[in-house]
Structure 1
């Protein structure tokens, strides 16, 4: 029967085969380097590894090799350091003043003397010193707020009325434009109310209700005065539908159909005996001649129209074709009728 194996450590010698590395930190001032492990490499299991110090009291101190850097040990006076060997100085090792990487631009000084003129270079004349403005608002993206100047006519604590607006003359509807009459509009005041529009190939069509419902002027107007260059009874005509109901604020403006119908109905009224009495002999002859021509032109309805007597239309002396309106200049609501035969 074999016995139990028992570990027997080899005999310990006083010599140590460990050699310190010359590339460790500066340890020449210490007898025992802190980077050197404990001298007791093969410690006994009976010895605690937490013993302080780690080195065995029975082990002698081992001197460390000298430092390979002689300059590092020159000021430590280590007995193991080599003597300090000074090296020759170079041109780059001379003292140089500290120059920062960024330097603030120095302002121009005028305290220096005039540059010496040696005749080779021509120097500009010295300018008087001018103070440079600092960067207060030059680079600011915001606009400096300034109070706007007050107008000359401004009086504080008083009511300033708005300036008068320019009067805009209303533009007539193209069918009513008498300065440039349209050749495709046919409106005979002597016949029944039937304004026509020429569509081509001698074909005519009556104006639609949509066309008659368009505004007579632009901008729209609510009052209009129509006069004539001849003496016609009950003329000039005044159109203002607001007088019929002044409390109604929704009265529409004057339409194209309103102008045409009021002119046609007014000129087709019979005159009174008083109107005939105001005429002289020459005017009576001209009006009677216009009345006879108008009735004969109507053809089969001549007798029926003769029984109606003289109308206001006959005071136009045969000019019964409506051509439009023209402004008179008295006001923006005053116009004159243009007729032709």
Structure 2
């Protein structure tokens, strides 16, 4: 049986990860190298979330309506982009996400490819539960170094990429922290940040069926209950329902792959199981 070697952080450090975002391991080496690339006094853009309610949304608060009820963000809804809503409702009406391994037709023109760290695979190089901070990533493979997280996420390198999935009514636009091209680390950071955004009451109601609402509620409960006994438990519970809970438990990162139906080289499929 293969051992899981922590290249970024270990699960024993989960408490520190949930409170301050991780403080040790190769991930911090990556952060240090990345920060050296950023000009002093400037802040890089990591991601922009295309929201079901607006083109760019980041709810700032949540409310409590009784301790036993769900905590939801309070941002008022706006007109949603119809294309994203249609895709989401089609998936939601089929009972929510399922393990997703796309079988794409062979394109007439060669598409870009993803970095080996994050390329679609049934046995990906990185073991990553996307409900957690990227610093919890581990691997069964020896020889992976922090330098890989500074390399281009896709080839040819892109100044931004968009991640889409039929499992969520949002797309995630990832920007480069180095100002030139999106890196592997940028993708992982952007994915984590986007999925940690609070769900609004309107978004929760858009689930429609009681079954889907119950599944999302249970995913939220499981997410904070696994931290019971750790310092981050109360903070995670009070944080409320987040977008990652819409995945209802299918949170294993399987990698990204080019979208063959898109003519743009910067649109990539997020694959989970």
Coarse TM-score class (shorter-chain normalised)? 0.5 to 0.7
**Partner SS for 2:139:** strand
Alignment partner of 2:112 out of 170, 181, 192 = 170
Equivalent residue for 2:201? 273
Equivalent residue, structure 1, for 2:67: none
- In structure 2, list runs of 5 or more residues that go unmatched: 1-107
For structure 1, the residue ranges without an aligned partner over 5 or more in a row are 1-165, 243-249
What SS does the corresponding residue of 1:309 show, helix, strand or coil?
Answer: coil
Which residue of 126, 137, 140 maps to 1:185?
126
Structure 2 CA distance for aligned equivalents of residues 261 and 296 of structure 1: 24
Match of 1:312 among 243, 250, 253: 243
Q: 1:225 aligns with which of 148, 154, 162?
A: 162
Offset at 1:298?
2.6
Pairwise mapping of residues 225-244 of structure 1 onto structure 2 (< 5 A)?
A: 225-232=162-169, 235-240=170-175
Q: Distance in 2 between matches of 1:259 and 1:286?
A: 27
Which structure ranks higher in relative contact order (CA pairs < 8 Å, sequence separation ≥ 6)? 2
* 1:297 matched residue in structure 2: 226
Alpha-carbon separation, structure 2, partners of 1:181 and 1:240 = 27
Normalising by the residue count of structure 1, what TM-score does the alignment of the two structures yield? 0.43
SS in 2 for 1:221: coil
What per-residue deviation string (whole Å, max 9, x for no partner) do you get for residues 284-306 of structure 1?
11110111122222332433311
CA distance in 2, matches of 1:238, 1:199: 29
Tell me how far apart the structure 1 counterparts of residues 140 and 149 of structure 2 sit (CA, whole Å): 17
Q: CA deviation at 1:336?
A: 1.3
Give TM-score scaled by structure 2 length: 0.52
The offset of 1:219, in angstroms, is 1.9
Task: Deviation per CA, 1:136-191: give whole Å up to 9, x if none.
Answer: xxxxxxxxxxxxxxxxxxxxxxxxxxxxxx9652111011111x244441222222
> Which range is displaced more, 188-197 or 327-336?
188-197
Q: Distance in 2 between matches of 1:227 and 1:186?
A: 20
* Cross-structure match for 1:287: 216
Q: SS where residue 318 of structure 1 aligns?
A: coil
**Cα contact 1:185–1:195 (8 A) shared by 2:** no
Q: Does 1:197 align with 2:152?
A: no
Between 190-199 and 309-318, report the one with greater CA deviation: 190-199
Aligned CA-pair RMSD: 2.7
Q: Once the two structures are superposed, what CA deviation does each residue of 1:242-280 show, in whole Å capped at 9, x if it has no partner?
A: 9xxxxxxx9311110111110110001111222122222
Q: Could you tell me which residue of structure 2 aligns to residue 50 of structure 1? A: none
Residues 271 and 312, structure 1, Cα contact 8 Å, conserved in 2: yes
Query: What is the Cα deviation at residue 238 of structure 1?
Result: 1.9
Aligned residue-pair number: 161
Matched, 1:328 2:246: no
2:175 is the alignment partner of 1:251: no
Please say which structure displays the higher CA radius of gyration.
Answer: 1
Structure number with the higher helix fraction is: 2
